[in-house]
Structure 1
Amino acid sequence: MFGRNNKNDQEILNNKLTTEVSDLTQQVNHLLKKEDKLPGINEDIQNISSEISELKKEIQSVKNENVELKRIIEDNKKNYDRILDSYNQQFSTLFLYYDLKSKGPLRNFQRLNQELLNFVVNVLEKYDLKYWLDYGTLLGAVRHGGYIPWDDDIDLGMMRKDYNKLIEVIDDEIKSNNLENVEVTVNDRLEAIRISFLQIAYYSDEGELLAGLDVFPSDYVDTPPSGFAEKVIEEQKIFIEKMKEGADINEYMDDYYQRFNLSLDEQNYIVSGIDNNLRGNSGYHAYHLGLFKKEVVFPLKSIKFNDVSYPCPNDTDFYLRDLYKEYNKIPKVVVHHFRADNLNRKYDDEFFDRQIKKFEQINDNFGK
Structure 2
Amino acid sequence: MLYLKWLLRKYVLTLCVLFFLAILILAYYNPEHSLPYIISNDYYDIEEALRHLPICNSRDRPNQRALLSTFHEWTKFARKHQIQYWISYGTLVGYVQRGGLLPHDGDIDLSIMAQATPYLFELSRLNFSSIYELVIHPQWYIIDDTKRSYFRSEKVEFVSLNGRFLNLKDNLHVDLWTAYDYHPNKTRVYKKDPPTITSFDNDYQWRSMPREWIFPLKECMFSGIKVWCPAQPEKLVSDIYGDISVNTSEVKCVNQTWVQSEEYKNAKKLMEMRMKHMTASTKETLVTTSTPRHQSSHSPIDLAVEQIPTCNSNDRPRHRTLLLLLQAWSRLADQHNLQYWLTFGSLIGYVQRRGLLPHDSDLHITMAVNDTQQLLNISRTNFSSNYQLKVHPQWNIMGAGNRSSFPDQGINFVTPNARFINLESKYSIDILPSYDANKQNLTVYDPDYNWMSHPKNWTYPLQTCYFSQIKMLCPADPKMLVETMFGVKALTKSDTQCRNGTWVEITPGKK
TM-score tier, shorter chain, comes to: 0.3 to 0.5
In the superposition, the TM-score normalised over structure 2's length comes to 0.32
Tell me which protein shows more strand as a share of its residues. Answer: 2
In the superposition, the TM-score normalised over structure 1's length comes to 0.44
Greater radius of gyration (CA): 1
Tell me which protein shows more helix as a share of its residues. Answer: 1
Higher RCO (CA-CA < 8 Å; seq separation 6+): 1
